Amino acid sequence: MEAYIPQGRFTLQWHITHRCNLRCRHCYQDDYSAFEGRAQLEKILDQYTELLTENKFKGLLNVTGGEPLTHPDLYWLLKTAADRGISTGVLTNGTLIGVEEAKKLRACGVDYVQISLDGCEKTHDEIRGKGSFDKAVRGINALK
């Protein structure tokens, strides 16, 4: 039996941290302090890049967490991946995105940012915490 090797795009959804600034009711993350150090990020990114090269895949790196914007090496990771020709996306709660963060994401060549909204303000805040809806909307507006 031959191994199945998919053609085309190979997506890596990478939880680079368990750290988060929110305490959502539905979240399965239970370690709010840990994150991968830069050396570990680089090692994993090198392995992913090698896999893409060997198999002639186009890469898509979805960076998430926890909350990826809490990671001190997020922008380095995104820029390094983009410099290697890997498309990048960030999956976030959006509450930590202001004008400066939006500029940094653009400068890193991020292809898209996905911000979680769980309904109208009341519903969203019941799930993610009071004021989180307004902060997420502020993040969306900063990305425009």
Q: What is the pLDDT of residues 19-53, one digit of tens each?
A: 888 887 888 766 666 667 899 999 999 999 999 99
Q: Which helix (H) or strand (E) holds 80?
A: helix 74-83
> Which pLDDT does position 65 carry in this prediction?
87
Which region holds residue 119: left if phi is over 0, alpha if psi is between -120 and 50, else beta? left
Give percent of the chain above pLDDT 70: 90
Question: How much is the pTM?
Answer: 0.90
Residue 1 pLDDT exceeds 60:
no
**pLDDT score for 24:** 79
CATH code, residues 9-19+29-143? 3.20.20.70
Owner of token pair 């914007």: 69
Task: State the Cα–Cα distance between residues 133 and 111, nearest whole angstrom.
Answer: 23
| Whether pLDDT at 102 is above 60 | yes
